[in-house]
Amino acid sequence: MTLTPSPPAATPTHILGDLRDRLHRFRTVATAVAGPWARGVDADYLQDLIGYWATEYEWTVHEQRIRELPWVQAGKRWKLRLIHQTAEDPTATAVVLLHGWPDSVLRFERVLPLLTDLNVIVPALPGFPFALPIAEGGLSSEKLADAVADAIADLGYDRYVISAGDVGCDVAEALAANYPERVAALHLTDVSQYHFLVGLPTDLSDAEKEYVRDGHHWQATEGGYMHEQSTKPQTIAAALGDSPAGLAAWILEKLRTWTDSGGDVETIFSRDELLTWITAYWVTDSIGTSFTPYAESGAKPWGRIQAPTSFTVFPRDLVNAPREFADRFFNVQDWQEYPVGGHFAAWEQPEEYIQGIRSAVQNQSGGSD
């Protein structure tokens, strides 16, 4: 099929002007005395970052690079915008990369140049930055899976490998469950926390019991954002959608805490990279709609996923399940644990991340590449 290029539109000047005006009006907020980053975002770092955002950062430079990616549109029920990087060999395996929150397709910028021998598709998931608008605003993970399956079929691929992290893992799991004839293999970085929160098996090993304890501790100490986004998303969306400083605080804290940064987020992201990830949410007005997979999360009414699954596990991810727990829900064929890396592994450790993709391509059912 002939595909028409479909880059995201350039941000109107008045939106960027309004953003700078808001940043210049930023006011510090009185809080109780606490150590740096002890109770969330560090006020001094945030103030410094806001100053840089207001006076030095140039979104248009980064936007131009993003718009030059090979964007297309596909899909019938929901029209999706996707990056479609084609291999020289049209018969090469198709690999679908699924991002999560609070990121976007930008999670995969560093792996795209490493996968030129494959047909790579990166959907901008509806409700997230760079996505085409849909009537619903956002979608649950299972409906996102339906939308992705429809769009990939519209591109002409009837079988593919999926690589995913975070919310993308929930979408990937739903795709493999509901479209098993299309999903040849999975590559995942994490097991959905749903599996230790709902319907927990009773015959857990000691390692699994420790994982569940760690998971509940993480939920109690780090999961506040998830509860708010799941239960009262419109409340927090009103605050974050009206205040770029608030939006930056909400996202920045996660980019620091969830990466293997040793406490210095700028070892993982330059200031421009941080602000590009954050500004993408602001200029597309997508923070509120990006909460939909949390607010509309539901049961996973399927059995063990049969698609061959490769896991790459990084030490600073949120909560890492042991292999025996993952194997309850997935047909685990390869399990690699790395000494460095965090939640945004495709960005933090792209060379290691693509080893998981290569493993999944090698292990795919119905063929090899």
Within the chain, where are the H helices? Answer: 13-24, 43-55, 59-67, 141-155, 167-178, 194-197, 206-222, 224-231, 233-242, 244-257, 271-283, 292-295, 323-329, 345-348, 350-363
Q: Which residue in 185, 152, 191 sits closest to 170, CA to CA?
A: 191
Q: Which residue in 80, 87, 88, 125 sits closest to 106, CA to CA?
A: 125
Question: Catalytic positions, please?
Answer: 166, 294, 343
Pairing outcome for strands 183-188 and 160-164: parallel
Residue 13 amino acid letter: T
Give the span between the Cα atoms of 298 and 292, in whole angstroms: 11
Bridge partners, 214 (sequence order): none
Give the span between the Cα atoms of 348 and 345, in whole angstroms: 5
Report whether 145 contacts 179 (CB < 8 A).
yes
